[in-house]
Amino acid sequence: MEIRTAEFVTSMADYGKFPGRGLPQIAVAGKSNVGKSTLINRLCRRNKLARTSSTPGKTRLLNVFLLNGEFHLVDLPGYGFAKVDKQEKLRWGKMMQDYFTQAEELKHVLCLVDIRHEPTEDDITMNRFLRESGIPFSVIATKADKISRGARMKHLAPICRALSVQPWEVLCFSGEDGTGRPELLGLIERVLKE
């Protein structure tokens, strides 16, 4: 498959009011700054479709994109930004809970972790939540360009241990050089066919 068209649909805090119900959805989750927006832009071959930022924690809303007029990609608000206060964390939690309980169209979650770092408590909490909720997900190791190919296995080991996945189940991705883009397209195609 290839992404032929990609358009921004809406930013919202309240999924209940989303007008585009019915189309299948794939969500992109992960902590702030892990590369969610960059992955979406690279996937769609559009530099400024999703707003990227070097200041973490800017995306506090669900950002929805329509791809190929066929499915929605949802850029979820990032978690684990140290500077957010308790109020903001509670708001985030409620938004996510509302989303996951209401999004019947959700087919799959792409769980992004930085290939260079061990998953955080928040990553593990998200992982546990998805398992317990029976929501299918894939782990995507981002920023793969930052390490050599030969060092991948070494970096994947702690990620796999923390998130209880096998190395071959993790998709290595780079928004910088396009590593993993064909595999990601393949994954999306499979998910949409299910």
Interface residues toward Mg ion, by CB under 5 A: 36-37, 59
Spatial contact of 130 and 91, defined as CB atoms under 8 Å apart: no
**CA 65 to CA 51: how far, in whole Å?**
12
Least Å from the CB of residue 34 to ligand GDP: 4
55 binds ligand GDP (CB under 6 A): no
Site residues (CB under 6 A) for ligand GDP, limited to 136-165: 142-143, 145-146
Size of the site for ligand GDP (CB under 6 A): 21
Toward ligand GDP, which CB reaches closer, 18 or 173?
A: 173
Which of Mg ion, ligand GDP, none does 33 bind, CB closer than 5 to 8 A by kind?
Answer: ligand GDP
Toward ligand GDP, which CB reaches closer, 176 or 183?
A: 176
Angle at 33 between CA 90 and CA 111, to 5 degrees: 75
Which of Mg ion, ligand GDP, none does 180 bind, CB closer than 5 to 8 A by kind?
Answer: none
Toward Mg ion, which CB reaches closer, 131 or 146?
A: 146
Angle at 72 between CA 146 and CA 75, to 5 degrees: 40
63 binds ligand GDP (CB under 6 A): no
Residues in contact with 168: Cβ distance below 8 Å, sequence separation at least 6, in sequence order: none
**CA 154 to CA 163: how far, in whole Å?**
15
User: Which residues, listed in sequence order, are joined to residue 92 by a DSSP beta bridge?
Assistant: none
Would you state the structure tokens that stand for residue 99, as one six-digit string?
């989303």
Site for ligand GDP, rule CB under 6 A: 30, 32-38, 52-54, 56, 59, 78, 142-143, 145-146, 174-176
